[in-house]
Amino acid sequence: MSSQLSKLPKTLPLSIALLLSSCGVQDIASVQAFAVLANQANESYPSLVADFYNSCVRAAEFDTDVIPVRRDIEARCDRYQELRPGLLAINQVLESYIRALGNLASNETIVFDAEFQSLGSGVESLPGVQPQQADAVINLINFLVSASVDNYRREKLADVIEISNSDLQITLQTQKGIFSSDYKRLLLIESDTIDDFYRQKMLQLQANPEELLNVRRQWQEEKVSVNQRLRAANDYLQILDQLGQAHQELYDNRNRLDSASLGQLMLQYTYKLKPLIESLVEAFS
């Protein structure tokens, strides 16, 4: 166990590292460590959601210098602002669920207020979300509130994992679908628009080598930025996949959460998540 402890990501709290070295509780500690690491992604999430709209606007700015035309294009970006409340609500539910697993593994109660229960309305109004997808998120909300009222603790951890797995998987796939279809498409449009803009500009500057060099440098800087956000988008999708796979493994092993093999499993997912989350933080810090 000491060799595993030495490999533990430095971002994890010392208390988690100490728990991992304790005989007989490495599985519970690994669930806690996994919960702590997964929640780090939430620090960058609001900026990630805001970039739906921002990417659309950036593409409009590169698309034309004619202000009235640009304003018309930017007006079409407003619909991506409408996604923000629902996406933030889904993420808050996911974050709260992961945190609840950590609390239960620590034999602590979970607490949610009436404001948390109201998140369901934001999800229901999210454009493109199907009723069964919204129902899955609302089921998670209601179950967490019920678990809070009933003062669930560690002995209920397996029950929580069993009852919530299906709804959690649907919620993760809902989130993944929105980011795959909308955000990545916006970034690719932005990237293509940047290329078109700078190609045209360089053609106009063939007689001015010094200015041509400056424009080429600007082009490279813009491409670095959009490519970094594209990588971060792909990493976020992988984070959602890893969360789903990890919870499915918890579900499959829910009746033996005290096994050493499960502890090792959760450590493996912790290692997988660390570079993905670091990439996300770097792109949107």
Please determine, for residue 216, whether its predicted confidence score (pLDDT) is greater than 90. Answer: yes
138-155: pLDDT as tens digits: 999 999 999 998 999 878
d(CA 270, CA 62): 40
> In this predicted structure, what is the pLDDT of residue 66?
73
> In this predicted structure, what is the pLDDT of residue 89?
93
* pLDDT band, very low/low/confident/very high, at 3 (cuts 50, 70, 90): very low
Average pLDDT over residues 148-170: 91
- Note the pTM of the prediction, 2 decimals: 0.81
* pLDDT band, very low/low/confident/very high, at 52 (cuts 50, 70, 90): very high
> In this predicted structure, what is the pLDDT of residue 210?
87
> In this predicted structure, what is the pLDDT of residue 179?
94
d(CA 242, CA 281): 17
Nearest to 163 by CA among 182, 146, 188, 178: 146
More confident call, 208 vs 190 = 190
> In this predicted structure, what is the pLDDT of residue 139?
95
**Annotated domain spans of the chain:** 2-283
Please determine, for residue 33, whether its predicted confidence score (pLDDT) is greater than 80. Answer: no
Q: Highest mean pLDDT: which of 62-71, 104-113, 204-213, 262-271? A: 204-213
Please determine, for residue 136, whether its predicted confidence score (pLDDT) is greater than 50. Answer: yes
Q: Which of 62-76, 143-157, 216-230, 243-257 has the lowest mean pLDDT?
A: 62-76
More confident call, 105 vs 160 = 160
Please determine, for residue 245, whether its predicted confidence score (pLDDT) is greater than 80. Answer: yes
Q: Highest mean pLDDT: which of 13-22, 165-174, 242-251, 266-275? A: 165-174
> In this predicted structure, what is the pLDDT of residue 24?
41
More confident call, 44 vs 17 = 44
Please determine, for residue 31, whether its predicted confidence score (pLDDT) is greater than 90. Answer: no
Please determine, for residue 174, whether its predicted confidence score (pLDDT) is greater than 60. Answer: yes
* pLDDT band, very low/low/confident/very high, at 36 (cuts 50, 70, 90): low
More confident call, 277 vs 168 = 168
Helix axis angle for 45-63 and 209-252, nearest 10°, is 150
